[in-house]
Amino acid sequence: MSNKDSILIFSGSANKPLASEICKVTNVPEGAINIKKFSDGEVSVRIEENVRGRDVFVIQPTSFPANDHLMELILIMDALRRASARRVTAVLPYYGYGRQDRKVEPRVPISARVVADLIQTMLPHRLLTMDLHADQIQGFFSIPVDHLYFAPVLAEYINSKNLQDLVIVSPDSGGAERARFFGKKVNGGLAIIDKRRPRANESEVMNVIGDVKGKNCLILDDMIDTGGTIGKAAKALKENGALSVICCATHAVLSGEAPDKLNEANFDEVVLSNTIHIPESKKINNLKVLSTASLFSRAIQIIHNEESISSLFI
């Protein structure tokens, strides 16, 4: 096999377990790379094997600490480009800064666009990501963006549970379309939490729009950050007679006291993906982590073979 026909997968330090699983599923050895920090916090990167003429994929979600992991990604891509890799694909299972996708008040940056510009400065050939907070972020890039969804993996798991009288609940009006789309996959109804957010990272649930009495409710969101919104949503659902409440999200940001808030909400189950590594220190009751490795592996192979990736978008 020539270099042109072979894949190399490298991982930053953000989510090595996911990268290792992707390599295992893809049947590709993990690329040798040395990443370290100097005493002043500067990141040092060295690629430990020949990448000339290779098709290279860099797996690095820009999760906490977002700035460190973003800098790692940029330096890894620069090292690969200078080492004459034929093609470099940035694989960001979680795209940090995605919530800052527009101007919500005067004199603020559109940070999601700034991050896109920073990534493109290193001239990657394409970006592969999952469940962007806002679809328009794809338009911030001038390179191709392959946007995968966690929904097929989650739907397969939920359908295996054979839940009756299932209602998919959006924790806010903005996620209603996501909840409606997922409901079609699992034969579930739709409800929406009406909330008011007095300030950043704080939410106040007002009421539930839809019939949830005696129903099995599944709260669906793209990420869980502080856990406040989804915890209050669970409380509102139970006060309205929900039979059970399951929490589902793609990205386990889990900032601060989020695990405690999820535990206090007493969910029947918390279902998350492994786009962000969940450390042992963040223990969540009734936690189920679904792997996205097979989906990313299929996408990587399709991109490498220059085939259509459309089948993975739905």
Dump pLDDT digits (tens) for 271-301: 999 999 999 999 899 999 999 999 999 999 9
What is the predicted pLDDT for the residue at 1? 47
Q: Is the pLDDT of residue 196 over 80?
A: no
Third-level CATH fold of 151-290: Rossmann fold (3.40.50)
How confident is residue 194, by pLDDT bands cut at 50, 70 and 90?
confident
Q: Is the pLDDT of residue 84 over 50?
A: yes
How confident is residue 228, by pLDDT bands cut at 50, 70 and 90?
confident
**Which tokens go with 129?**
């990501």
Mean of per-residue pLDDT scores for the chain: 93
- Shortest CA distance to 299 belongs to which of 9, 75, 62, 4? 9
Q: Is the pLDDT of residue 130 over 90?
A: yes
Q: How far is CA 55 from CA 1, 72, 81, 86, 90, in A?
A: 13, 19, 11, 6, 11
Q: What's the sign of the alpha-carbon dihedral 26, 123, 313, 95?
A: positive
Q: Work out the angle between the directed axes of helices 293-304 and 16-26 (0-180°, nearest 10).
A: 60
Whether residue 140 contacts residue 112, with contact meaning beta carbons closer than 8 Å, is answered with: yes
What is the predicted pLDDT for the residue at 310? 83
**Which tokens go with 303?**
């991109």
Whether residue 34 contacts residue 42, with contact meaning beta carbons closer than 8 Å, is answered with: no
Options 16, 36, 195, 288, the catalytic residue: 195
State the CATH architecture for 3-149+293-312.
3-Layer(aba) Sandwich (3.40)
**195 catalytic residue (yes or no):** yes
Q: Work out the angle between the directed axes of helices 176-186 and 151-160 (0-180°, nearest 10).
A: 50
> What residues does CATH 3.40.50.2020 cover in the chain?
3-149+293-312, 151-290
Q: Are strands 87-92 and 244-252 parallel, antiparallel or unpaired?
A: unpaired
What is the predicted pLDDT for the residue at 169? 96
Element at 167 (helix H, strand E): strand 166-170
Element at 248 (helix H, strand E): strand 244-252
